[in-house]
Amino acid sequence: MGFSPCPAGASCVGLLCYPRPRPLQNLLFLLWTLLSCSVGGSVQGPGEWTPWGSWTRCSSSCGRGVSVRSRRCIQFPGEEPCSGDSHEYRLCQLPDCSPGALPFRDLQCALYNGRPVLGTQETYQWVPFHGAPNQCDLNCLAEGQAFYHSFGRVLDGTPCSPGAQGLCVAGRCLSAGCDGVLGSGALEDRCGRCGGANDTCLFVQRVFRDAGAFSGYWNVTLIPMGARHIRVVQRSRNHLALMGSDGRYIFNGHWAVSPPGTYEAAGTQVVYTRAAGPEETLHAAGPTTQDLVLQVLLLEPNPGVQFEFWLPRERYGLFQAQAQVLGWALRQPQPREVEPQPPQLLEPSPMTRDPTRAPDPCPPCPDTRGRAHRLLHYCGSDFVFQARVLGSHRQAHETRYEVRILLIYKNRSPLRMREYVWAPGRCPCPPLAPHREYLLAVRRLVSPDGTQDRLLLPHAGYARPWSPAEDSRARLASRRCPV
């Protein structure tokens, strides 16, 4: 009789044993065998990996090194090899080496000091040589000689070159991904998640275009806590300014222009640049650990301040609520009362010249008719109301109107029966005549220190003589504003 490796009651297929089927199970057994085996009787498909083993100790006793773990491929005869790597390497970071410690590559070259090499009895003192093609070979230069020798691969965890971020592993120079695994290529997304898809944060991108009818500090936007990848650009003689949540300026505050450079703010580094273009930029990787207020110091009409940042989704609602608590919409400017600028700090601009000089005749106001203009100002304003002008008072760079509120179409906070409405410039556009009724769209402006709380009628804003027809147009505009 031939030898059978299977016990009684079992049948063999190749080297594997299966229970012997009963007569009623023959058909099922045959179908199962055909699905599991090829014509030659070998098992098909790739092998299977064992679970990963534990990570080894760090290859270095100080500084950076590598740790490795491995797994085995269980492969039966006829199976394909397992897909993937059998070893995985990750970066390990230990306390920095002492200043006098010998670098890891130097130690490996020094192992061959005083030992005969190259088939002769000559001995040399060896130091690292970094001019060879493969930087992960142990290339050592014989001191006092004009040649180097390659002693094979460097040990895993050796820096590829002095000051480089990559480490040599199995003869290859690899960099760690954001997951710490060497060669993984894993990158951090804009939300700060390793290997993410930018789906846990929102991209805030806007252009602050208010013309800035008078010089001084105007709020551009609130940069909330948690913001990442902050970028701001403006191209004019104006200056960006950044203020912390405590009200202290980080740069360009109090009418003094700070030098370009890197500033520490809200737990991140803010890089401020200024070119002769003129162009100013602000960059910060984030995330910010507290709120910041971005401002612009206007010395000339504002051509636009572009800003963008990424914000976690769960913080976006709080961002909007904070802006409303401050009393200004996300794209609304904030004037800041400032002292007359010192002549040694900034050159006077056309908007800040001596107010005692006789003003030029008021030029004609721009045409502001049309539905697009009405929708823009109605939807972008904080208040829309019908009011009668009781009087006006012209100051150096602005005009103050005293009005009586007759009918409110839109309001974000309570209004008194009598209010002051401020218009920039000595020649406001459009001008309001005393004792006449108007339909006005105004914005609420609160200074950062809370000492000024004003209703502002923007230059070339929405101020129409009230009539039943204008009343109907305003009510129609209210239904077309985005929610």
Asked, for residue 23, whether it belongs to a domain, the answer is no
Q: Which domain holds residue 105?
A: 48-186
pLDDT reported for residue 246:
84
First vs last Cα of the chain: how many Å apart? Answer: 89
What is the model's pLDDT at position 211? Answer: 61
- In this structure, is residue 86 part of a structural domain? yes
Q: Does residue 224 sit within a domain?
A: yes
Please indicate, yes or no, whether residues 151 and 216 belong to a single structural domain of this protein.
no
Secondary element (H or E) of residue 378: helix 371-380
Q: Is residue 261 part of a domain?
A: yes
Shared domain check, 163 and 246 = no
The pairs formed by 191-195 with CB atoms below 8 angstroms and a separation of 24 or more are 191/228, 191/310, 191/312, 192/228, 192/287
Q: Are strands 305-312 and 334-336 parallel, antiparallel or unpaired?
A: unpaired
Same domain, 140 and 240: no
252, part of any domain = yes
Instruction: List Cβ neighbours of 58 (8 Å cut-off, separation of 6 or more).
Output: 65, 66, 67, 92, 94, 157
- Report d(CA 169, CA 412) in Å as an integer: 63
Q: What is the CATH number of the domain that holds 437?
A: 2.40.50.120
CA dist., res. 226 & res. 313, Å (int): 10
Could you tell me if residue 347 is inside a domain?
no
Contact between 397 and 354 (Cβ < 8 Å): no
Q: What is the pLDDT along the chain (483 residues), one digit of tens a residue?
A: 344 444 454 444 343 444 444 544 444 444 444 445 444 444 456 889 999 999 999 888 888 888 999 999 998 888 888 888 888 898 888 888 888 888 899 999 999 998 888 777 888 999 999 888 889 999 999 998 888 999 999 998 899 988 778 899 888 898 888 888 888 888 889 999 888 888 899 998 888 887 655 678 888 888 999 999 999 999 999 999 999 988 889 999 988 899 999 999 999 999 999 987 789 999 999 899 999 999 999 888 888 899 999 999 998 888 877 665 554 444 333 333 333 333 334 443 343 344 334 444 577 777 777 777 788 888 888 899 999 999 888 876 788 899 999 999 888 778 888 889 988 877 888 889 999 999 999 998 887 776 778 898 988 888 999 988 888 888 888 888 776
- Residue where a domain terminates, one of 120, 152, 186: 186
Nearest 5 degrees, angle CA 33-CA 36-CA 41?
75
Q: Assess contact for 477 and 470: CB atoms under 8 A.
A: no
Q: How many CB atoms lie within 10 A of CB 202?
A: 17
Q: Quick one: 313 and 375 in the same domain?
A: no
Strand, coil or helix: what is 128?
A: strand
Same domain for 308 and 409? no
Give the separation between CA 301 and CA 306, rounded to whole angstroms. 15
Give the model's pLDDT for residue 238: 92
The answer to whether residues 62 and 147 belong to one domain is: yes
Residue 119's CATH number: 2.20.100.10
Q: Please tell me whether residues 179 and 240 are part of one structural domain.
A: no
**C-alpha dist (Å) from residue 380 to 54, 411, 431:** 60, 12, 21
Residues across the chain: 483
Whether 244 and 322 map to the same domain: the answer is: yes
Beta strands, E only, 60-200? 64-70, 73-74, 87-93, 126-128, 137-142, 148-153, 158-159, 167-169, 172-174
- Alpha carbon distance 172, 393 (integer Å): 77
Give the count of alpha carbons within 13 A of 367, CB side only.
4
Number of domains making up the chain = 3
Q: 254 and 162 in one domain? A: no
On whether both 55 and 179 belong to a single domain, the answer is yes
Domain end call among 300, 326, 352:
326
Q: Residue 440 class from Cβ within 10 Å (0-12 exposed, 13-18 middle, 19+ buried)?
A: buried
pLDDT at 182: 84
Q: Are 424 and 400 in contact (CB under 8 A)?
A: no
What is the three-state SS of 172-199? Answer: EEECECCCCEECCCCCECCCCCECCCCC
Single-letter residue type at 84: G
Q: What's the CA dihedral at 329, 331, 332, 336 to 10 degrees?
A: 110
Indicate whether 55 and 141 sit together in one domain: yes
In a domain, 1, yes or no: no
pLDDT given at position 369: 72
Q: DSSP characters for 250-265? A: EES-TT-PPPSEEEEE
Q: Map tokens 């208040």 to a residue.
A: 383
Neighbours of 216 (CB within 10 A): 21
Here the tokens at position 399 are 């005009």
Closest CA to 458 of 443, 445, 447: 443
pTM of the model: 0.49
CATH code for the domain of 298: 2.60.120.830
- Rounded to whole angstroms, the Cα distance separating 370 from 83 reads 67
From the list 429, 408, 446, the residue with the least C-alpha distance to 329 is 446
Token pair, residue 193, equals 């998640």
Q: Is residue 35 part of a domain?
A: no
Distance CA 72, CA 67 (A): 18
Are 154 and 264 members of one domain? no
Read off φ and ψ for residue 163, nearest 5 degrees: 80, -5
Tokens representing 278?
């003129």
Amino acid letter for position 187: L
Mutual orientation of helices 468-478 and 371-380 as an angle, nearest 10°?
60
